[in-house]
Amino acid sequence: MPLDAAAEQDMNSSNGQRARGPFSGVLVIDLTRVLAGPFSTMLMADLGARVIKVEQPGSGDDSRAYGPFKDGKSVYFGFVNRGKESIALDLKNDRDRALFLRMVERADVLVENFRPGTMEKLGLSWEALSKINPRLIYASGSGFGQTGPMSRTPAYDTVVQALSGIMSITGYPDGPPTRVGTSVADLTAGVYLFGGIASALYARETTGRGARVDVAMLDAMLSYLLHGVMEYVAHGRALGRLGNGHPSIAPFDTYQAADELFVICAGGNEVFARLSEAIGRGDLARDERFAHNRNRHENHEALRAELEATLRTKPARHWVEVLTVAGVPCARIQSIPEAVAMPQIAARNMMVESDGMRILGNPIKIGGFDDPATRPAAPALDGNGDAIRAEFGASEERATAAKR
């Protein structure tokens, strides 16, 4: 997609200069709110797209009211809407609707995450908008997708975690089903939505035509449950809750040192032999109970007892240092503050500056394109409205109407 004069001008939008990226010159109309959709369009903005966020007048995206707050602004909103522009439009209002349709005429991508059927009621369906702009990529994110008996059922992340089965395998055997400690269904759907849009843009280079992208949170979450579905397909049974253990590999769990639990992941015979030697227990690698992974997994509790008899003699930091030198994957269980302070995170530019605060960076690194350490702020509600209205001809329309 060549960078034309309009795109060059777009690089210096009223919301701050954006770095060039693989999506430079791509115009995205963002009707999404809260998390899954905004996360997908934020990734596009980070990679050079111009993203115009269309919000409800007066209140805007619901997440503007979600905490935590810093300096009176929602950190939640800021984390997934940086680098975008904002215009407040009432799509039921004739003048606002006319402006919106002019935006669609020039857009490359439209992204929405209303409940299925809402866009159709507004007269803004894929079929309607593709007639206005045949090259439009029309991407929809929802709880259950645009088809199927549950398509119009409301959903939140925890609902999808419950339905998908992931809660049933999260937690310890003697504890209750447990929600994963982040909005994994929302974020997984956001990543798939981003990937679907990128794929459709690539296909358009060959076909010249737009496409409909349909991503469901339930589909996305289920696709991540490889081990649980493997167990069902292979043995016809549900995978139980394993705590921090692995369903088919040992030792692959948390283990108690003198001061705290830490993680050891020794997946093969060679790694297990290195582990045994490093902690001074070379006998374990020669024990028939632990000779191969299947044996170790079948005897994982006996293996735990043998390992922890030694590991409990010294602190976790000692063992992590020893095992890392030996080439055994392992780690302390860090807090979030410890994680974001890691030199590795700094080296990968995964904490960046935006609007006076440190926020998460973009994990997609592409050679030949900058990965700025400073990112544009999330927009104020309708913060770019006047400029966008002027750009898409609303001021001219008002002038014409006044002459009449």
Q: Show which residues are catalytic.
A: 246
Q: How far apart are CA 115 and CA 250, in angstroms?
A: 44
User: How are strands ordered across the β-sheet holding 27-30?
Assistant: 85-88, 50-55, 27-30, 109-112, 137-142, 211-216
Give the closest residue to 186 by CA, choosing from 146, 145, 220, 226: 220
Q: Which residue has the tokens 């496409």?
A: 211
What pairing do the DSSP bridges indicate for beta strands 27-30 and 109-112? parallel
3-state helix, strand, coil in the chain (%, to 5): 45, 15, 40
**Distance of alpha carbon 122 from alpha carbon 93, whole angstroms:** 11
Q: Are 109 and 201 in contact (CB under 8 A)?
A: yes
Q: Which long-range contacts (CB under 8 A, 24 or more apart) does 354-361 make?
A: 354/78, 354/82, 354/378, 355/73, 355/78, 355/82, 356/71, 357/70, 357/75, 357/78, 359/75, 359/78, 359/79, 359/82, 360/79
CB atoms within 10 A of CB 153: 15
CB 129 within 8 A of CB 203: no
User: What is the spatial distance between Cα 4 and Cα 24, in angstroms, rounded to a whole number?
Assistant: 10
Are 175 and 241 within 8 A, CB to CB? Answer: yes
Which position has the token pair 């009211």?
Answer: 65
> Rounded to an integer, what distance in angstroms lies between the CA atom of residue 121 and that of residue 119?
5
User: At 321, which amino acid appears?
Assistant: E
Give CA–CA dist 222/226, Å, rounded.
8
